[in-house]
Structure 1
Amino acid sequence: MSNEHQIVILGAGYSGMMCAIRLAHRTRRRSVRITLVNPSARFTERLRLHQVAAGQELADLQIPDLLHGTGVVFKRGRATSIDPAGRTVTLDETEILHYDRLVYALGSSTDTSIVPGADDHAFTLNGPAEARRFAARLDELTDAQGAVTVCGGGLTGIEAAAEIAEGRPGLAVTLISRDVPGTMMGEKARAYLHRALERIGVQLVVGAGAAKVLPGRIELEDGRVVPSDACLWTAGVKVPTLAADAGIDTDDRGLITVDGTLRSVSHPEVHAIGDTAAIGQAWGQIHGTCQSGMPTGAYTADAIARLLQGKKVKPFRFGYFHQPVSIGRRDGVVQFTHADDTPRRTYLKGRAAVFYKETVSGSPPKMYRMSKHFNVTPQLSKGGRVTRRAVL
């Protein structure tokens, strides 16, 4: 029997990929076998899926290429069950992987079950294939001067609506949101965002969310009806039920409950990172973004390396730094934030924001390549003094 320490990482998104490559570098002189599992061999740049939805093509980043030279074993497959007692993961209901340590990085997806009709009549950005289907639908509507709705006024909805309106000016694009889009920004940044959206032709319908998605229209909670030949759904998220089904402790949203070192409180051999972990800080709970996901991956790689050496691990510390938003390809706004994601006074707009956002969006693959050779810091803030306090 092999004496290798078996580490299985489920999910090759932003956090899982960072964890795999950094962990391989940190454990290169130890007897460790790292297996990275993902349903697709192509790395998904979720930060750019709104571009795919608007009809643009992205670079073809293959996971085996990103892993080349690391020694990480890539398994293409979907985890269908976990047996914590036996420490095994089943892939596609047939292949069984054994682990000594499991990193759970399966991420989240848009939840279309919360509003009637969304599952049947709305498109999502849950992956490149879904985004391309939406783009194909837009191709059908372009000549017909169709009406497009984007439901959800968060950053994803804002970026998608702007990308579509700029790239396809013949379409009528409406962004539907309960809250004012950009409500998390400061007053000046939000005002700039709204002027930019108006300039490229995005109509805002604010104050009520969608109550029902139907062919040809969206019925709102307040009774209004918005024409819709194609609906893109970006409101609400869900996580896989794999952990909860396995008896791993989760919160009421299905997120794995973790201690200060991002280890499962019920199964310490399981580490949870990214969108699927309920991570608390002194200022509150982290919400899932690439900005927080990659640091959890890097931290967990370092934590596992230290545990294998019999060393203590300090608690994870994190603070938000910015909210970068693209407004099409030629405009943008970046709101700088406090650790708890509330806005500071400082923001960028226009070309400076475009350059900043493009740098942020393009940084993960570069970090992965550099992480093969030395430890790269994907974290802009550890939250300052407030995150040095213990989480109650």
Structure 2
Amino acid sequence: MTATRIVVIGGGYAGVLAANRLSQRGDVDITLVNPRPMFVERIRLHQLIVGNHSATDEFASVLAETVRLVVDTAERIDADAHQVHLRSGEPLTYDYLVYSVGSTAPVPATVPGADRFAYPLGEWETARHLTGRLAETPTDAPIVVVGGGLTGIEAAGELAETGRHVTLVTDVVGPSLARGGRRSVTKRLTRLGVTLVDGAAVASVAADHVVLSDGRRLPSAATVWTAGFGVPGLAAESGLRTDRLGRLLTDETLTCIDDPSIVAAGDAASPSGVPLRMSCQLAMPLAACAADTVLARLDGATPRAINPASVGQCISVGRRAGTIQLSRFDDIAVPAHLGGRAAAAIKEAVCAGTVTFLRKEARSPGSYFWPRGGGRRRRIARAAHEAQAAR
């Protein structure tokens, strides 16, 4: 009997977990396409830039032995022909495609100079460029971090703990946190010597300074850009329908609304046009659901709708402190948090645990488990479908 051909595009947390989970069947041929020959621990890139972690692992340590790794870049999906066209080599033909290209962290074209002088911190290559820049920059030179989300907080904390003079520019510090969690983060950043400039936006970036929208000029030997996320344009460029940001539109089983042979997982998925927060925590349950959708179809069963529970947000602020923001299952922050050294230890355990989950799923496919949320996801999806039907 001919094996079912499954191609997984993207070797991040979602792609690796999905590929490993699919390997529980012996009648499938799984190929993982990734542009890099190593697995990148994206949630550790802020550690990479200061030199206390490589932020990479060998694929052999996290990927099931039966999954074939193809180091290449997917340039186009031909849904009609069921093929993925690669930058080099012959196209890959699939019966099912798992779209798990992840997210990016581009600098905005609307901010003059940002594309030339700012260093985004969302992908391994750009983090490496920033690492090189920091190596050339004296420790006492000023550093500006743009963006007060979790990535910006972690980058500012990591840099300040090494003795760097850091200014964090943002409209709001920790917008996804509750008031107490925000205070916890702000207190630790201040203790590390980070200068907080909130309620501000960057108007332009130059080689040695940034200009704020109110005209203030801040010296900056290296400007780190962490404001905002994007997604690769592969789905839209392949003629598949996407949301405003470019995430692949799917139903609640993560099946592409244009083609039932394509499922999406992770940050690049937009179920019912109401995507979940871009995060490793939610990308992995989505990956498990995407794989289970394919497995259900192979078994002739009805796939299960997504409903992953969020349990909180873990933020490191340097190596010696952090904040754990608790949340409801629907990812809304609650007025409860844990701070200090205990939070830093939990965050480190979480980071290590994500790789452990991948390795365990590689050894024992189907073992990964994540709690399901309440009924709010179903209500959101139903409202989205009703709104779409009314148009």
TM over 0.5: yes
- SS of aligned partner of 1:315: coil
Let me know the Cα RMSD of the aligned residues: 1.7
Question: Quick one: which of 378, 382, 387 aligns to 1:391?
Answer: 382
For the pair 1:84 / 2:79, whether they are aligned, the reply is yes
The amino acid that maps onto 2:158 is: E
Give the whole-Å Cα distance in 2 for the aligned partners of 1:286 and 1:34: 26
**Aligned position for 2:18:** 19
* Structure 1 counterpart of 2:366: 375
Could you tell me whether the CA contact under 8 Å between 1:294 and 1:378 is conserved in 2?
no
For 1:190-210, what per-residue CA distance to the aligned partner results, in whole angstroms no more than 9, with x for missing partners?
Answer: 212111101111111111211
Unpaired runs of at least 5, structure 2: 384-391
Cα distance in structure 2, aligned partners of 1:277 and 1:59: 24
SS at match of 1:61: strand
Aligned residues: 380
Q: Between 304-313 and 155-164, report the one with greater CA deviation.
A: 304-313
Match 1:195 to one of 187, 190, 210: 187
For residue 110 of structure 1, give the secondary structure of its aligned residue in structure 2: coil
Query: Per-residue deviation at 1:258?
Result: 0.4
| Cα distance change of structure 1 residues 374 and 245 upon mapping to structure 2, 3 Å threshold | closer
Structure 1: which amino acid aligns with 2:120? T
Alpha-carbon offset, residue 60 of structure 1: 4.6
Give the whole-Å Cα distance in 2 for the aligned partners of 1:211 and 1:40.
34
Name which of 265, 270, 295 aligns with 1:305.
Answer: 295
Q: Residue 149 of structure 1 aligns with which residue?
A: 144
Query: 1:54–1:160: 8 Å Cα contact kept in structure 2?
Result: no
Q: Which moved more, 1:367-376 or 1:6-15?
A: 367-376
**Aligned partners of 2:204, 2:176: CA distance in 1, in Å?**
26
Instruction: Give the equivalent residue in structure 1 for 2:168.
Output: 175
Report the CA distance shift for 1:68/1:298 in structure 2 as closer, same or farther (over 3 A): closer
Provide the identity percentage. 37
Unaligned runs of 5+ in 1: none
Q: Does 1:52 find its partner at 2:48? A: yes
Return structure 1 stretches of 4+ with deviation > 3 angstroms.
387-390
- Contact 1:81–1:93 (Cα < 8 Å) also in 2: no
AA at the equivalent of 2:49: A
Letter in 1 for 2:80: A
Q: Which residue of 2 aligns with 1:61?
A: 57
Q: In structure 2, do the counterparts of structure 1 residues 242 and 111 end up closer, same or farther at CA, with 3 Å as the change threshold?
A: same
- Aligned position for 2:386: none
| Partner amino acid, structure 1, of 2:364 | H
- Give the Å deviation of 1:58: 2.4
SS at match of 1:95: coil
2-structure distance, mates of 1:204, 1:312: 51
Q: CA deviation at 1:374?
A: 4.7
Assess, with a 3 A threshold, how the Cα gap between structure 1 residues 58 and 182 changes in structure 2: closer, same or farther. Answer: same
Distance 2:333 2:232 in 1: 31
| Residue 34 (structure 1) aligned with residue 33 (structure 2) | no
How far, CA to CA, are the matches of 1:324 and 1:332 in structure 2? 8
Q: Report the Cα offset of residue 378 of structure 1.
A: 4.8
What SS class does the counterpart of residue 336 from structure 1 fall into? strand
Q: Which residue of 2 aligns with 1:274?
A: 266
Q: Secondary structure at the match of 1:80?
A: strand
Q: Give the alignment's TM-score, normalised by structure 1.
A: 0.92
Shift of 1:300: 1.3
1:274-326 Cα offsets, whole Å, 9 max, x none, are 11111359xx6412110110001111111211110101112111232101100
CA–CA distance in structure 1, aligned partners of residues 158 and 101 of structure 2: 27
Question: Distance in 1 between the 2:223 and 2:204 partners?
Answer: 11
Distance in 2 (alpha carbons) for counterparts of 1:252 and 1:188:
32
Task: For 2:55 and 2:130, locate their aligned partners in 1 and report how far apart those are by CA, in whole Å.
Answer: 19
